[in-house]
Structure 1
Amino acid sequence: MKLSKNLAFPLLTTIFAIGIAASAGASEGTFDELDTDQDGVISQSEAQAHATLSATFAEVDTDADGVISWAEFSAAGLDQ
């Protein structure tokens, strides 16, 4: 079966978008799993469950407020 150019591009774009959405959902799931008290941030004690985050907590906590926000978690590349 040969796909026309008019059908192939939207189909591939949709498949790509679904892949990105699935990947993002898994990442946020990891953040949400670490945020055990569901307050929207990861504390140092919650970070102990993630070896990389635990070891780099001070560097990831760029605003030095003692917790990791989703933005900091994502910016550190931990959402992948």
Structure 2
Amino acid sequence: MTGLVKFARPVIIQIGRHGKERIVVDVTDAASILMRDFGTQTIKRRAAMDVCLKVLRGEAHSTAARGAFVTAAREANILRGD
């Protein structure tokens, strides 16, 4: 699948105590954040990454990736708005 796969609703996160809030609107951005900005590897982070990759390959829907990303962000305590 080419191009951006948008979420139905954005997810708001904040990385670091003094970081700016970020609005995540698509699967590509979510996958990038999961790879770059999450400190520790957890089962929920790994699951979110796997679902994002499936969406980008056209094997899953963006709803599943959004849900997994929200779960991982909540676990990492960076979720600010769902």
Using the size of structure 2 for normalisation, the TM-score is: 0.33
Higher strand proportion (structure 1 or 2): 2
Q: Which has the larger radius of gyration?
A: 1
Higher helix proportion (structure 1 or 2): 1
